[in-house]
Structure 1
Amino acid sequence: MNSLRLPRRNVVLAAALLAGVAAAPALGQSTFAQQKPITLVVPFAPGGGNDILARALAPRMAQLLGQTIVIENKPGAGGNIGADQVARAAPDGHTLVIASSQVTMNPFLDMKVPFRIEHDFEPVGLIASVPLLLVAHPQQPYKTLPEFLAYTRSNPGKLSYSSPGNGTPQHLAGEVFAKLAKAEMLHVPYRGTGPSISDLVAGQVQISFATYASAAPFVQSGKLRAIGVAGQKRSALMPELLTFGDAGMKNYEASLWYSLLAPAKTPKAVVDKLNTAMVSALQDPAVSRQLAQQGFETQSSTPAALKTFIASELQRWERVIKDHQIKVAP
């Protein structure tokens, strides 16, 4: 499986860009036809990466845009319900969605996807990426990644893993691992990261592939055990934690990326204003510090760069899902 590679953080966004945001009239005054709140849709339940990013960015973006931003959680169908709400919204910049990697996976998973990501949205920009951690209930017998891998080989069918829903990156991380490791595991989908992690803490499932932000508080309190990083690069926040590459799985890579999308046909002037505000918010010291502490690596981009990246991800996941014969439960 090829590594999921994102464009490097755009460190060449000149001071002129920030100055332009400060000097420009509020977005609602200069670009929008109507003055009304912006609805930022999070297509998952509270507590997951999409939700964390939305709540970190919204206050600063609202200041920069001179607009109220209302966050609306709309979970279900692997993020498709919330995304579809935005795809059908008026293309005026007042309805946006925080979309993660799942939008480039779902079309190839035998799921009913009511939109085409490459045609029904205007890309605004990449926001961030985050590695996935393999975490386990502390009563499980394995404490290290090599012990976990040995357990999966000798105990087929005894592991169940939770995810925020069918077709999510966390789900795909488990499916691809199971195929590569020839392991038998039961996938248990939930309606969002919060309930997925809550049932893991309660012992209803044994493991989960989870973002650092959602798992770290429970790892630090001893309610969960961190087993490994689901990829090839160690986490700066948990540098002692082995990666799957360290354990010999050199072809295994799982991480999430997040982006901001608007409905198709949103005017370019509106998209550009939103991108400028988003990039400026990501560069705000308080916002960037908050996100770094929660395991996010900011990945700001232009709308055009995000469009190209989405096209490449669609091609990559179509190949990965087909090669590994991955399907989702109806």
Structure 2
Amino acid sequence: MPLDTFPAPRRLTRRQALAWSAALCAPALAHAQGPGAADRPLRVILPLSAGSGADGAIRAIQASLSKALGQPVVIENLPGAGGITGTTQLVRAPKDGSVIGVVSNNHVVNPHVYPSAPFDAIEDITPITVIGATPFVLVAHPSVQARNARELIALAKAKPGVLNYGSSGNGTILHLGAAMFVDQAQLDIKHIPYRGMGPLMNDILGGQVQLGVVAVAPAAAHIKSGSLRALGVTTAARVPSLPGVPTLAEQGLPRYELEGWIAAVAPAGVPPADVARLYNGFKAALTMSEARDALVAQGYEIKLTPPDASAAFFRSELARMGQVVKSASVKMD
């Protein structure tokens, strides 16, 4: 606009001058602080208990993420109702990039087993990135007379209703993992739900429960010592840390494929600039050797994906888990 189109200048009062000065300085100050006021701590809600796989993973990269973002990162465990308690707090959090959550497969399982959840698993979040994924393995107590999944299927069909499997809780991904196996192999095996991964592992090791689908990393040492027997891994390809254990797909279940993933999300409505800043923070953190090595040590394969691809992943996983829940007839007991 030509200068001669502006009205003639007039004298400003002190209050007006201060207001104009603040307005002119605000963009520069916001730029210096970064979107989401990066001088404040980033609150990370984890809708899972301390000691879970997702908890260990995010804590492993906490220092690197803080360094990458240039702000403190505070992790808050809010477990309960399969993740619904913490996720409810997340979706109601400020939409300014100051609060995010780290969710797992349960986020897209819950809508199918908890239809009355007080939020929409897709519409009420803003995906930031899929962080990584870890394989699962079907394990048995050594007293079970089966060395692999094929032998287990034969044993279960010869003795219907005799065997049992445990899970970390009704509707959890470990429940679905075992239920998928039972469904696809058309077996009659009883489900015994536990309250978390720790109690489940303790009772499989103790022989109180015979079978279970668990994460590879915490099970690997027990498999190596012989206190657990690995019958098959759940991924499409064999797992490098268990090269001698065939996949379930190799053992007569060609449609079986499952892994445990974790992803960072924000509440719906967070500005794109904040989402980009947070994604770039995760991206930078996971280029740091200490973060990458820590995740790999916990059995994770890094699968960093940008926000758009992460949103598409959430939608596809929601549909896929719906089919799994329906086919396996998973119900809340």
Class of the TM-score when normalised by the shorter of the 2 chains = 0.7 to 0.9
Q: Residue in 2 aligned with 1:125?
A: 129
Q: Residue in 1 aligned with 2:72?
A: 68
Letter in 2 for 1:303: P
Q: What CA deviation, in whole Å up to 9, does each residue of 1:46-95 have, x standing for no partner? A: 33321121111211001111222222222222222222221121222232
The answer to whether the 8 Å contact 2:176/2:324 transfers is: no
**Separation in 2, partners of 1:66, 1:26:** 15
| Residue 294 (str. 1) matches residue 332 (str. 2) | no
Q: Residue in 2 aligned with 1:77?
A: 81
SS at match of 1:309: helix
Displacement of 1:210 after TM fit?
0.9
Letter in 2 for 1:319: Q
* TM-score calculated relative to the size of structure 2: 0.84
| Residue 172 (str. 1) matches residue 172 (str. 2) | no
Displacement of 1:188 after TM fit?
2.5
Which of 231, 237, 241 matches 1:237? 241
Count, aligned residues? 305
Letter in 1 for 2:332: A
**Separation in 2, partners of 1:95, 1:138:** 45
Which of 54, 58, 83 matches 1:54? 58
Q: Residue in 2 aligned with 1:252?
A: 256
Q: Residue in 1 aligned with 2:222?
A: 218
Letter in 2 for 1:327: V
Displacement of 1:163 after TM fit?
2.1
- In structure 2, relative to structure 1, the CA distance for the partners of 1:174 and 1:60 (3 Å cut) is same
Letter in 2 for 1:217: A
The answer to whether the 8 Å contact 1:75/1:191 transfers is: no
| Residue 272 (str. 1) matches residue 269 (str. 2) | no
Displacement of 1:28 after TM fit?
9.4
**Unaligned regions of 5+ residues in structure 1, if any?**
1-24
Q: Residue in 2 aligned with 1:6?
A: none
Q: Residue in 1 aligned with 2:267?
A: 263
1:101-250 alignment runs, 5 A limit: 101-250=105-254
**Unaligned regions of 5+ residues in structure 2, if any?**
1-28
Q: Residue in 2 aligned with 1:12?
A: none
The answer to whether the 8 Å contact 2:176/2:330 transfers is: no
| Residue 99 (str. 1) matches residue 103 (str. 2) | yes
The answer to whether the 8 Å contact 2:38/2:69 transfers is: no
* TM-score calculated relative to the size of structure 1: 0.85
Letter in 2 for 1:208: G
Q: Residue in 1 aligned with 2:331?
A: 328
Letter in 1 for 2:102: I
Letter in 2 for 1:185: I
Letter in 2 for 1:87: V
**Separation in 2, partners of 1:72, 1:275:** 20
Q: What CA deviation, in whole Å up to 9, does each residue of 1:235-254 have, x standing for no partner? A: 01111101112211111112
SS at match of 1:238: coil
**Separation in 2, partners of 1:174, 1:110:** 19
Displacement of 1:110 after TM fit?
4.7
Coordinate RMSD, CA, aligned: 2.3
